[in-house]
Amino acid sequence: MATIDSSQAPWRKSTFDPQMSFRGYRGGRGRGRPSSYVPRKDPAAETLPPDRDLYEGLHSTPLKSLQAGVADPADEDIRIEGLEYIGSYSWTACETPTVIVPGAPRQWLNRAAPYNVQPDIGLFFVDQNGYRMSRAPLVPLVASVNKRTETNPDFDFDWASVDFVTDRNALRKLMRWVRNEEGMRDFRMDLELAGEKTVLVNRWEARTREMYNGRTYGYNFERSSTEPAPGCQKGSGHHRIVTYDLNGLTMVVRFEVDACLPPTRSRKSIDAAVDDVSDLLAAVNLTSNTSSTSQSHYSLNIVPGGYEAKSPTIMELTTRFEGRVNDFDWADKYMQLFFSQTPHHVLAVHNRGRFSALQRRKLSDPEFQELEKRMQPDLKALRKALALIQSLVIEHGQRGRLTLVCKGGVLSVYERTSQKSCLPDHMMALFD
């Protein structure tokens, strides 16, 4: 496998057939690259709890089952318009849930291949938001956006105008259900109405951490190919929040960022940022003087630090064994990039951890644009499904607690037994 010369047009394709990629889209999926490492003092003593029950906290009988609609060819093509960055944060390993706002992604080093990477061994996060804020995973999303409104006089955000607040992960799962993808994993998402129309979509995972035994290289490739941003050396997973219009639906979407192209900053400002954040984090477990939300399980400390990464610099990193490059699922990967409008993708090709090629692409490349055209029927069906989900949540009102469960490809609507809200009262009031 030849190495792509980074001095050439840097975001060009290697071997990529959109038609073949599209046909192969319905294949099964693995767990993929771990999102971030779980710090722990004694690796030998760490054990994972049993998987959660898919139906925990739900009434036994579903309200109804949903059918994926068939798109009308005459329907308007699905487009994302008005993309805007509205907030971000980086998790820390503090015992009390603590985020750095705005935080920053790890910065791409642009290393020349080939180079060697150690296998992923140990405990990694599947969903760090769910692990650290299990009963209120949307709190850091809302809190980081609100913090930006407090510190930036030129920024304001109208929560009441939003139709969906969700993770990118939920959109990808619904897309696989729409396509009736073979081998699709069961999934669940908990819904709640905020204000008159906003659907809050809470990610639900059977396990929020996963033990890796050395058969993958994705996490360590990221660590070997990037460096922490100034002020975020103690960060553990960077999350970015954007808003956009999806054919009339105002979306707020959160997603984890693998890396970004580094900005040009002065050495003096970098050193100051590192010192300030380190001092604040050292004090988090000793004092409550940092900005925070309250109400028991909603509690979250906010430490200022990092910088707002520009949208054109955001990157997604993927690793692939060289013997399986040609059957890579480009259609599914494109949907991941599409729902977050991530402009840069790197496919890192390796043989047992020796990375020999970095295939770089842009979201705007013709191959991806061809995939988008071919996937318009599925995107249209997804748009219809979102409208149906929103109407159901509105119908059940602010006291309703609906959950979507996909089991064996069948998507059913359940009611939860608890009336607990996913956001504290002062955050829910933002949507009125």
- pLDDT tens digits, one per residue of 58-96: 999 999 999 988 888 889 999 999 999 999 999 999 999
Tell me the C-alpha distance between 281 and 233, whole Å.
11
User: What's the token pair of residue 373?
Assistant: 């055209």
Domain ranges of the chain: 18-431
* Buried residues in 279-292 as b, exposed as e (16+ CB within 10 A): ebbeebeeeeebeb
Tell me the C-alpha distance between 147 and 145, whole Å.
5
Task: Output phi, psi for 178, to 5 deg.
Answer: -55, -40
pLDDT value of residue 359? 97
With a CB cutoff of 8 Å and minimum separation 6, the contacts of 252 are 86, 141, 145, 162, 164, 165, 166, 241, 242, 243
Please report where in the chains the tokens 């009390």 appear, as a residue: 96
Q: pLDDT band for 5, please (50, 70, 90 cuts).
A: very low
Q: pLDDT band for 288, please (50, 70, 90 cuts).
A: very low
pLDDT at residue 253 tops 90:
yes
Are 236 and 93 within 8 A, CB to CB? yes
With a CB cutoff of 8 Å and minimum separation 6, the contacts of 162 are 198, 243, 250, 251, 252, 431
With a CB cutoff of 8 Å and minimum separation 6, the contacts of 325 are 1, 15, 347, 349
Tell me the C-alpha distance between 105 and 377, whole Å.
34
pLDDT value of residue 73? 83
Are 108 and 226 within 8 A, CB to CB? yes
Mean pLDDT of the chain: 88
pLDDT at residue 42 tops 90:
no
pLDDT at residue 286 tops 90:
no
303-362 pLDDT tens trace? 999 999 999 999 999 999 999 999 999 999 999 999 999 999 999 999 999 999 999 999
Q: What is the mean pLDDT of residues 249-274?
A: 78
Q: What is the mean pLDDT of residues 274-278?
A: 55
pLDDT value of residue 294? 53
Tell me the C-alpha distance between 321 and 328, whole Å.
10
Task: Output phi, psi for 255, to 5 deg.
Answer: -155, 155
Are 256 and 336 within 8 A, CB to CB? no
The CA-atom distances, in angstroms, between 321 and each of 3, 224, 243, 330, 401 are 14, 17, 34, 15, 43
pLDDT at residue 293 tops 70:
no
Q: What is the mean pLDDT of residues 258-275?
A: 67
Are 316 and 258 within 8 A, CB to CB? yes
Q: pLDDT band for 11, please (50, 70, 90 cuts).
A: very low
Tell me the C-alpha distance between 254 and 386, whole Å.
17
364-392 pLDDT tens trace? 999 999 999 999 999 999 999 999 999 99
Q: Are strands 300-306 and 291-293 parallel, antiparallel or unpaired?
A: antiparallel
Q: How many CB atoms lie within 10 A of CB 10?
A: 15
Tell me the C-alpha distance between 62 and 201, whole Å.
18
Reply yes or no: is the peptide bond before residue 102 cis, omega within 30 of 0: yes
With a CB cutoff of 8 Å and minimum separation 6, the contacts of 145 are 86, 87, 157, 241, 252
The CA-atom distances, in angstroms, between 201 and each of 100, 102, 238, 247, 288 are 23, 22, 20, 19, 30
Enter the pTM of the model.
Answer: 0.89
